[in-house]
Amino acid sequence: MKRRVVVTGLGAITPIGNTVDEMWNGVKSGKCGIDLITRFDTSDCKVKIAGEVKANIEELIDKRAAKRMDRFSQFAVIASKEAYKNSGLEDAEYEPNRFGVLISSGIGGLATIEREHSRALEKGSDRISPFFVPMNIVNLASGNVAIELGAHGMCSCVVTACAGGTNALGDAFRHIRDGYAEIMVAGGAEAAITPLGMGGFTSMKALCESNDPSRASIPFDAERSGFVMGEGAGSLILEEYKHAKKRGANIIGEIVGYGATCDAHHITAPCPDGMGAAAAMTQAMEDAGITSDKIGYINAHGTATPLNDSIETTAIKLAFGDHAKALAVSSTKSMTGHMLGASGAVEAIVTVMAVSEGFLPPTINHMVADPECDLDVVPNIGRKADLEYAMSNSLGFGGHNASVVFKKIKE
């Protein structure tokens, strides 16, 4: 018999808030976290805006430890510590060997790579920092979190580009459901607002080149022209239901379904027929044991690239049929920008909160309707709704598709 898996803790650091409460309040108010880049000189760059985290890292994490971590790992530790505290596990008894970590990143320590490469060119390769490798490799987000929290169970990472945060969450869900752990920290972290990161995405024409924050990250809008880079992290504490109940945990929601597929079509472009993404959504609903009409809200991948939004709309129509017309489908990337491997985790948190509080997050700065994106995108202003089930979608370069389903908790 499959075990129930619930969400007992949430943590986030994002362009619209440095805690879950701050972020969720930002979502409800339709806050835009996109502004001019401050982390490096953009004088020679076409793209001058992004969704930066606005925080003093040294106030949120041990100063000495922070110096041995890339920014993406710092974000992961900050978000995971908040989720752990939020869950009440600090004062609980549990088996550390049954407590695991699964955190994704799409790119890892890009800022560290850039800095140490410059040092090597200037001073020679023998002058590279001894912390270079452990700072930049992608699995060290999970590793640092495990060290911080004393988690001795499975510690791994998922690297599936922009689907990574959702894949990490889904894989952690299965790990608990199938009996391998009682507790998992699952999520994603990213910090790619660097000259190389921004330059690479600009060169491949993936980024919006408008430097007006109110008309840049505009998912489902007919004038969309690319995504806006974001950064941050999201972490969720997943826990086996009986384990959570026994210790009197505050249960925020239940994760009930997960689907993962591949387009097997193109290295960056989604498949035009939307079949791969639709299959992931269908798998997630079948895994949850529900029919499509039970889903009331989808937090869409919704990147604001011309192809993604129209093809995701097609995929939703394929997966949901006539019920697609009754769905609320919004993109909170309109507020945060696209946080790559962290997006799925942060958006899962938003989806859990949407179900818990009965609120539909808006797609902000939506001005020009696109007939190819003709679903209810909750334009500009969020609204109340009684939700029993909701879904979060993530689609990544390489054709990766991932969907998770959350349920309003019923004891």
Query: What type of residue is 376?
Result: D
259 in Cβ contact with 287 (< 8 Å) = yes
CB-based contact 32:216 (threshold 8 Å)? no
> What does each C-alpha distance from 278 to 28, 161, 305 come to in angstroms?
28, 19, 18
Selected catalytic residue, list 175, 243, 301, 366: 301
In DSSP terms, 405 is beta-bridged to 257, 391
369 backbone dihedrals φ, ψ, rounded to 5°: -65, 140
**97's tokens:** 């060997």
Name the active-site residue from 338, 366, 373, 400: 338
The CA dihedral of 231, 204, 161, 315, to the nearest 10 degrees, is 110
Q: Does the annotation count 243 as an active-site position?
A: no
Q: Which two tokens stand for residue 248?
A: 């009197």
The active-site residue, picked from 32, 162, 208, 271, is 162
* Amino acid of residue 321: G
The H-or-E segment that residue 395 falls in is strand 389-396
Amino acid at 114: E
Q: Quick check: is 338 catalytic?
A: yes
The answer to whether 220 and 370 have CB atoms below 8 angstroms apart is yes
Nearby residues of 352 by Cβ (< 8 Å), 6 or more positions away: 7, 10, 236, 252, 253, 406
Contact present, 251 and 7 (Cβ < 8 Å): yes
207 neighbors 59 (Cβ within 8 angstroms): no
Residues forming the active site: 162, 301, 338
